[in-house]
Structure 1
Amino acid sequence: MHLLRMSIRFSRIPTFGNFSTLQAPSVTSYLTDACGLSPAAAIAAASKISFISGSRKVSSKHNPDSVLAFFRSYGFTQSQITKLISMYPRFLLSDPVRTLQPKMDFYLSAGFSTSTLTKLISSDADLLRSSLKNRIIPAFDFLKAILHTNEDVVAAVKRSTWIFHVNLEKKMEPNINTLRSIGVPVGSIAKLAKIHPSVLMQSTGRFGESVERVLKMGLSPSDAMFIRALHSLSSISAVTLKRKLEVYKSFGLPEDKILFCVKQKPMIVNLSEENIRKSFGFFMEMLKWKPEFVFSSPVLLTLSLEKRLAPRFSVYEILLSKKLWGEKSIVRRFFYLSEAKFNVRYLLRFQDECPEILETYRAMRGQ
């Protein structure tokens, strides 16, 4: 089907010849006119293509028009093609049927949708540069042995296309074995591989250090929160972690309480020091909440001050001024509610009594 579609499109496209017969100015013009590159990007790309095509014989199969037609036949938009050629102009020297089509067909047969695939490839050209036999298929098979379904493998690749850059048996398997050796359940390992595959592709030394830090926190490997903590701690150094904990301590919170909350909501160690201070400042100054009360629900600290906390507080102030606030005080669930539920419960419900409430809320959110 793809071959038929490609042959039809190829026949309708004027031939520019191969790059071995084009001079640098012609190559540059082709890159701007046919590929959509900017003049500066075209000049940079032309030097690479001209150098290669001038140093070896380029057969008639390496027709740049056929490469562009190939990408279009697989659903790439013009902007995606431009981005792809800018990243790796040597694609224009490819024999698409021999080198590109087998990879595209494999990805599609594995369960990648056309829209997903074109988006991923236009952001990471190595998905078409890596060896199908030696890298792509082995990586896919390795992950499927862990995740069991093509759908979950696709989900993992969408999280990190680096999966097809490395040898997973050498890069990921040692770290998986480490988790198995300490008793992390198979299901938890699979979840980590699907949602945060990059964690499992860290060097064994760095990965081992992260595992040790999570264990020292007192989390059991069998606890579902273990892999969440591993993900959070693996992205920061021991020095950075210590500095974050010091920020929390500066609000008078005891270390044991802080560590307890980190175990409940590990991602609070990934917040910037500035955001930690701003969030605590908001709760303590605007709501008069004590640090202990804030920390009793650590998820509060992960909510955006600009998009969630401040805009909703403005709604609270309006309702309070109109004597429409039914609670004794502002409650935490006011900030927890999903956007859809918040709209129904507070914005739409009181729109007649407070016409300005929706406009104020949207303005605060920058909408």
Structure 2
Amino acid sequence: MYHFLIARFTHHRIHHSSVLCRNAFSLFFDSRSFSVSNTNHYHQPENFTLSTLVNSCGLSPETALKLSKRLQTKNPNGPNAVVQLLTNHGFSDSQLRIYVKKHPLVLLSDAQNTLLPKLKFFQSIGVSTTDLPKILIGNTSFLSKSLHKHLIPRYEVIRSLVCNDKEVVSALKHCSRNLHCGWAVKDAALNIEVLRKLNVPQGCISLLVSNFSGVAFTKHSVFVEAVNSVKELGFDPLKSNFVLALQVFAKMNKDIWESRFKIFKKWGWSRDMCLSAFLKHPQYVMISEEKIIKVMNFLVNDVGVSPEDIARMPGILNRNLEKTFIPRWAVVKILRSRGLVKSDLRISSVISISEKKFLERYVTRFQKDAPLLLDAYNG
């Protein structure tokens, strides 16, 4: 059960000292923080003159004081109902702490009449109890916005751009803050119209909106400039790489773009090789400089792959060094030493496949001949 820790403080204690003030406002926002019951009956708080709402959820003493005064005059038992409601809709203890820290005024909400209809709306479009806390934590203003004047109209805009509600939910999970701006809603419609005039397939448009909603809802002038840059490089609007390149240009400024090319030039790539790799796998330029250096060093110096070969398969650069490259290369070395695979086995065929396929093709298949393969892969 959650229990609000209630404390009574006299006026002279409130103003005594900053140290005492911080101690007075300490909140242990754990399983005892709020007073709720698994039934629909709530424990009445003793006193909400000054709620201890600070340490664990990160509220400042000043914010907690203002909030506690409003709770006292509005609805002393309201927070219990709010927390009960959010808990019933998938929020864990830690997620509650994070959400309240970001949006403390949610505790002032009317749980049944204001919050519940919004939560039911999200459920009606297919948002699971697993995704709901993540979406709301990422977009704290959702529960403070009007259901009929804001949430439903925004949903209808996104729904008009994609194929189904599942893609709407994906867009919300990747939601941009721009979604709350009136100009962004208008610009999104204009942005997608630009793509439709280029005959970009609906599947590619859905890919952009559901996975890169920040790009779809960006300013129209920025979007058009990015589209023109992608067209100039020769991307085919009928293929998904067009929108993948579009999201790169919409997010990355020229300086970062040039800095990435400088790194690869140190490994022997020409500018043409960089652009050729970009045409094959646009997202490789979004990799951080630190990761590029680590992966290139491993592939070139440890594995022995030539920089030219890497440029021909840039997609592998996105894979995780510690979780994918190193353990899979350990398996390949054992298989090569036993003569169980060809010595010229392409690293791209080993790195690019799923974990399930890798285990089936290179570990389980050879367990009798090399029983330590799984240990090498895990170790």
Give the TM-score normalised by the residue count of structure 2: 0.79
User: What is the CA distance between 1:63 and its match in structure 2?
Assistant: 2.8
Give distance in 2, aligned partners of 1:53 and 1:310: 55
Question: 1:13 — aligned with what?
Answer: 42
* 1:303–1:309 Cα contact (<8 Å) kept: yes
- Give the letter for the 1:64 counterpart: P
* 1:156–1:197 Cα contact (<8 Å) kept: yes
User: What is the CA distance between 1:267 and its match in structure 2?
Assistant: 0.9
User: What is the CA distance between 1:227 and its match in structure 2?
Assistant: 0.4
Establish whether residue 212 from structure 1 lines up as the match of residue 238 from structure 2.
no
Q: How does 1:174-189 map to 2 (within 5 A)?
A: 174-189=190-205
* 2:195–2:205 Cα contact (<8 Å) kept: yes
* 1:312–1:335 Cα contact (<8 Å) kept: yes
Question: 1:320 — aligned with what?
Answer: 336
Question: 2:272 — aligned with what?
Answer: 256
Q: How does 1:217-232 map to 2 (within 5 A)?
A: 217-232=233-248
| Distance verdict in 2 for CA 1:91–1:284, change over 3 Å | closer
Establish whether residue 273 from structure 1 lines up as the match of residue 261 from structure 2.
no
User: What is the CA distance between 1:291 and its match in structure 2?
Assistant: 1.9
Question: 1:78 — aligned with what?
Answer: 93
For structure 1, which segment, 104-113 or 132-141, has the greater mean C-alpha deviation from structure 2 after superposition? Answer: 104-113
Question: 2:5 — aligned with what?
Answer: none
Give distance in 2, aligned partners of 1:359 and 1:183: 50
| CA-to-aligned-CA distance 1:32-69 (integer Å, 9 cap, x gap) | 8xxxx628547465223035457xx5257x63333233
Question: 2:164 — aligned with what?
Answer: 149
Give distance in 2, aligned partners of 1:219 and 1:309: 30
Give distance in 2, aligned partners of 1:328 and 1:69: 61
Question: 1:5 — aligned with what?
Answer: none
Give distance in 2, aligned partners of 1:88 and 1:12: 25
Question: 2:120 — aligned with what?
Answer: 105
User: What is the CA distance between 1:75 and its match in structure 2?
Assistant: 4.2
| Distance verdict in 2 for CA 1:126–1:356, change over 3 Å | same
User: What is the CA distance between 1:183 and its match in structure 2?
Assistant: 4.3
| Distance verdict in 2 for CA 1:362–1:44, change over 3 Å | farther
Q: How does 1:34-73 map to 2 (within 5 A)?
A: 38=56, 41=59, 43=61, 45-53=63-71, 57-58=73-74, 63-73=78-88
| Distance verdict in 2 for CA 1:72–1:248, change over 3 Å | closer
- Give the letter for the 1:173 counterpart: A
Question: 1:4 — aligned with what?
Answer: none
| CA-to-aligned-CA distance 1:135-158 (integer Å, 9 cap, x gap) | 111111111122242222122212
Give distance in 2, aligned partners of 1:235 and 1:187: 21
* 1:233–1:269 Cα contact (<8 Å) kept: no
Give distance in 2, aligned partners of 1:106 and 1:302: 37
Question: 2:367 — aligned with what?
Answer: 351
SS of corresponding position for 1:359 = helix
* 2:161–2:192 Cα contact (<8 Å) kept: no
User: What is the CA distance between 1:169 and its match in structure 2?
Assistant: 2.6
- Give the letter for the 1:23 counterpart: T
SS of corresponding position for 2:303 = coil
| CA-to-aligned-CA distance 1:151-201 (integer Å, 9 cap, x gap) | 221222122264753334334223223334444344432331122111112
Give distance in 1, aligned partners of 2:57 and 2:264: 51
Give distance in 1, aligned partners of 2:90 and 2:220: 39
Question: 2:17 — aligned with what?
Answer: none
Establish whether residue 166 from structure 1 lines up as the match of residue 190 from structure 2.
no
- Give the letter for the 1:268 counterpart: Y
User: What is the CA distance between 1:271 and its match in structure 2?
Assistant: 1.6
User: What is the CA distance between 1:303 and its match in structure 2?
Assistant: 2.4
Give the TM-score normalised by the residue count of structure 1: 0.81
User: What is the CA distance between 1:99 and its match in structure 2?
Assistant: 1.6
- Give the letter for the 1:100 counterpart: L
Give distance in 1, aligned partners of 2:191 and 2:367: 54
Establish whether residue 118 from structure 1 lines up as the match of residue 133 from structure 2.
yes
Question: 2:312 — aligned with what?
Answer: 296
| CA-to-aligned-CA distance 1:312-364 (integer Å, 9 cap, x gap) | 2222222333x23331323231223321122223223333443433222212x
Give distance in 2, aligned partners of 1:309 and 1:149: 36
* 1:130–1:165 Cα contact (<8 Å) kept: no
* 2:261–2:274 Cα contact (<8 Å) kept: yes
SS of corresponding position for 1:16 = coil
Which among 140, 151, 161 is matched to residue 136 of structure 1? Answer: 151
User: What is the CA distance between 1:270 and its match in structure 2?
Assistant: 1.0
- Give the letter for the 2:355 counterpart: E
Establish whether residue 23 from structure 1 lines up as the match of residue 49 from structure 2.
yes
| Distance verdict in 2 for CA 1:213–1:48, change over 3 Å | farther
| Distance verdict in 2 for CA 1:161–1:128, change over 3 Å | farther
| Distance verdict in 2 for CA 1:260–1:137, change over 3 Å | same
Aligned length: 342
Give distance in 1, aligned partners of 2:226 and 2:63: 41
Question: 1:309 — aligned with what?
Answer: 325
Establish whether residue 233 from structure 1 lines up as the match of residue 249 from structure 2.
yes
Question: How many percent identity over aligned positions?
Answer: 28
